[in-house]
Amino acid sequence: MTTAQPPAAGKPPAGTEPAGDRQDPSGRAAQLEDELAVLRAEAVAGAKVLMQIAEGSPHVAITFGGVTVGTSPTPVPAHMAPALAEAAAGAGVTLIQTEA
Amino acid sequence: MAGAPLLYTPPGYTTTNVTYGIGIAFTAVTGTSVPSDQNLGVGTAWTGLGWAYVGATLDGVTVTFAPTTQNIVIEEQPTPVGVAVSTADLTVTMNLSEETLSNVNLSWGNGGTIAVTAPGASQPGKSVLTLSTNFQSMSVALVGKNAYGYAGVLYIPTVISAGQVQTAYRRAAQQRVYPLTLSAICPFQSITWSELTAIATS
């Protein structure tokens, strides 16, 4: 959890430094590590595509293999897209894929 | 003249290394990243990255490592001259106590789909789990508190749920439970066990 901290004595007043410098350094570091971990995982997992439930469907969400797709474009690992679409069709739900 | 006295002085042991307590099991789509070291013990850091907490269990989580070996023997020696690892089965098992469709699907192979329909005119809200034998792999992480009082994490990048499931519907004897057996199907060297040992210096 990252929380904004008041500037320490001797530091320039707020507003004259980047927003990141005003945060608790250890919290900021943890946040950056989390973001880096996500980027690394995405690099390993490969591309993502956007999928959503087709308009007019009575369904509002469908979950398959730990991935939940709703009525708005949802990022899905590209390697899961075909299986997800097939599984959804089997459950009577039509998914559409849009450009990522 | 007698020799030096014969002593019996066993080495000391560390009682604080004797640990106990529950483990928190998370599952996620294969390839989902784990939180930063700083946040390994923070539940919301896991769920924020897409990990799902399995919730309450009947009797905790059990990790089982069951290698089988093949003795290499020679006629000239009664004891083996070598032992080769034939198989190395690693499983994480638990009895899920929270009867949700997500948990039912998880224990039944993680191959089903859960379609959600919102309530509307003449349409009750509902969720429908459609089962499938097209089992999907996933990642699993088990988070416990270690001897230092910090998080210790067993991370298995790829597992599959393929255990036998039997659920008893009883009037009062016990809650319905859904046995979950997660078997590792990834290279053994990709499995990690991380222990936090000290806070950051700054």
| B183 close to B87: Cβ distance less than 8 angstroms | no
Q: Which residues pair with B154 in a beta bridge?
A: B142, B193
Give which of A79, A69, A26 is closest to B199, Cα–Cα: A26
Beta strands B126-130 and B138-145 are unpaired
Looking at residue A44, its pLDDT comes to 62
What is the predicted pLDDT for the residue at A64?
95
The pLDDT value given to residue A11: 47
The structural domain count of chain B equals: 1
Judge if A2 and A21 occupy the same domain: yes
Alpha-carbon gap, residue B90 to A43, rounded angstroms: 27
What's the confidence (pLDDT) of residue A8? Answer: 46
Tell whether A50 and A94 lie within a shared domain. yes
CA B49 to CA B5: how far, in whole Å? 63
Considering the domain boundaries, does residue B200 fall inside one? no
How far does the CA of residue A60 sit from the closest CA of chain B (Å)? 6
Average pLDDT for B28-50: 93
Domain that holds residue A56: 46-98
pLDDT in tens, B117-167: 999 999 999 999 999 999 999 999 999 999 999 999 999 999 999 999 999
Task: For residue B111, tell me if it sits in a domain.
Answer: yes
Does residue B124 contact residue B149 with C-beta atoms inside 8 Å? no
pLDDT at A1: 40
Q: In this structure, are residues B64 and B91 in contact, taking their beta carbons and an 8 Å threshold?
A: yes
Report percent pLDDT > 70 for chain B.
Answer: 100
**Which segment of A17-21, B3-7, B35-39, B181-185 scores lowest on mean pLDDT?**
A17-21
ipTM for the assembly? 0.80
Cross-chain Cβ contact B117/A59 below 8 Å = yes
C-alpha dihedral, B159 to B106 to A92 to A82, nearest 10° = -10
- In this predicted structure, what is the pLDDT of residue A95? 94
Is A55 in the same domain as A90? Answer: yes
The parts of chain A modelled with pLDDT lower than 50 are 1-16, 20
Distance, in Å, from the CA atom of B196 to the CA atom of B126, rounded to the nearest integer, reads: 43
pLDDT value at position A18? Answer: 52
**Which pLDDT belongs to residue A31?**
81
Pair type for strands B113-117 and B77-96: unpaired
Mean pLDDT of B192-202: 94
Token couple for A46:
């490969």
Interface contact B89, partner A, CB < 8 A: no
Domain CATH number, residue B145: 2.30.110
In this predicted structure, what is the pLDDT of residue A41? 66
**Residue B1 falls within a domain, yes or no?**
no
Q: Within 10 A of A78 (CB to CB), how many other CB atoms are there?
A: 14
Q: Do A34 and B49 touch (CB under 8 A)?
A: yes
State residue A14 phi and psi, 5-degree precision. Answer: -60, 145
What is the domain range of residue B186? Answer: 15-195
DSSP lists the bridge partners of residue A53 as A95
Which residues are within 8 A (CB) of A67 and not within 5 positions of it... i.e. 6 or more apart? A74, A76, A77, A80, A84, B29
Residue B4 lies in a domain: no
Q: What is the mean pLDDT of chain B?
A: 96
A94 and A51 in a common domain: yes
Q: Can you say how many angstroms the Cα of residue B26 is from the centroid of all Cα atoms in its chain?
A: 8
**Domain assignment present for B176:** yes
User: Given an 8 Å threshold on Cβ–Cβ distance, is A34 in contact with B114?
Assistant: no
For residue B79, give how far its alpha carbon lies from the nearest alpha carbon of chain A (Å): 46
Quote the number of domains for chain A: 2
Q: Take residue B69 and report the two structure tokens written for it.
A: 């070996």
Please give the Cα distance from B50 to B154 (Å, whole number): 17
User: In this structure, is residue B202 part of a structural domain?
Assistant: no
